A and B are shown apart, each in its own frame.
Chain A
Amino acid sequence: MANRFGDLESALHALGARIAVPPAPSITPAVVSHLEAERLRRRRPPFPGVALWSRRRALLVAAFAVLAVLALAAAARFTIGAVQIRIQPTPSATSSTPPPFDLSVLGPPRSPSEAVTSLPFATALPAGPRPDAAYIVEGPTGQRSVAFAWLPSTTYPRIEGTPWGLIVLEIPGDDELVLKTVNAFEDMVTTVVDGRPAAWIPAPHELQLRTRVGSQTFSVAGNVLIWERGGVTYRIETALGFDAAAALAGSIRG
Chain B
Amino acid sequence: MEGRPLEDVDLIERARDGDVRAYGDLVERYREIAFRTAYLITRSAADAEDAAQEAFVKAYYALGRFRTQSPFRPWILRIVANEARNRVRSARRREGLALRLAEGRLSGDAAPSPEAAALDRERSEALLAGLAKLSEPDRQIITCRYLLDLSEAETADTLGLRTGTVKSRLSRALGRLRDVLPETLAATEVNDG
Are B40 and A8 in contact, with the CB atoms below 8 A? no
- A46 and B18: CB pair below 8 A? yes
Pick from A18, A25, A35, A49: contact of B124, CB under 8 Å: A18
| Partner among A4, A17, A31 whose Cβ is within 8 Å of the Cβ of B171 | A4
A13 to B21, CA, bound (A): 35
Tell me, yes or no, whether B136 is within 8 Å of chain A by CB. Answer: no
Q: Do B193 and A6 touch across chains, with their CB atoms under 8 A apart?
A: yes
Partner pick for B170 among A1, A26, A45, A195, CB 8 A cutoff? A1
CB distance from B37 to the nearest CB of A (A): 10
Q: Which residues of B contact A31 (CB under 8 A)?
A: 23-24, 27, 53, 56-57, 60
B20, B31, B128, B147 pick with most chain A CB within 10 angstroms: B20
Q: A7-B188, A46-B60, A54-B17 are in contact. Are A1 and B171 (CB under 8 A)?
A: yes
Q: Is the Cβ of B19 less than 8 Å from the Cβ of A56?
A: yes
Which residues of A30-87 have CB atoms within 8 Å of chain B's CB atoms? Answer: 30-32, 34-36, 39, 45-50, 52-54, 56-57
Q: Which residue of B lies closest to A11 (CB)?
A: B127
Interface residues of B in 5-52 (CB under 8 A from A): 16-21, 23-24, 27-28, 31-32, 34-36, 39-40, 45, 49, 52
Within 8 Å of chain A (Cβ to Cβ): is B2? Answer: no
The residue among A13, A15, A45, A53 with the most chain B CB atoms within 10 A of its own CB is A15
Q: What B residues does A93 contact at CB under 8 A?
A: none
Tell whether B99 is near chain A: CB-to-CB under 8 Å.
yes
Query: Judging by beta carbons under 8 Å apart, are A32 and B103 in contact?
Result: no
Given contacts A24-B31, A47-B64, contact A12 B20 (CB under 8 A): no
Determine if B110 is an interface residue (Cβ-Cβ < 8 Å). Answer: no
> Interface readout for A149-167 with B: 1 if CB under 8 Å, 0 if not?
0000000000000000000
A213 interface residue (CB < 8 Å to B):
no
From A26, which residue of chain B is reached at the shortest CB distance? B31
In-complex Cβ contact of B24 among A14, A28, A49, A54 (8 A): A28
Q: Is A118 an interface residue (CB 8 A)?
A: no
The answer to whether A57 and B18 have CB atoms under 8 Å apart is yes
Query: Which residues from B are CB-within-8-Å of A105?
Result: none
| Nearest CB on B from A49, distance (A) | 6
- Whole-angstrom distance between the Cβ of A91 and the nearest chain B Cβ: 41
Q: Which residues of B contact A8 (CB under 8 A)?
A: 174, 177-178, 189, 193
B99 proximity list for chain A (CB < 8 A): 19-20
Q: Which residues of A contact B53 (CB under 8 A)?
A: 27, 30-31
- Judged by a CB distance under 8 angstroms, whether B106 is at the interface is yes
A102 in contact (CB, < 8 A):
no
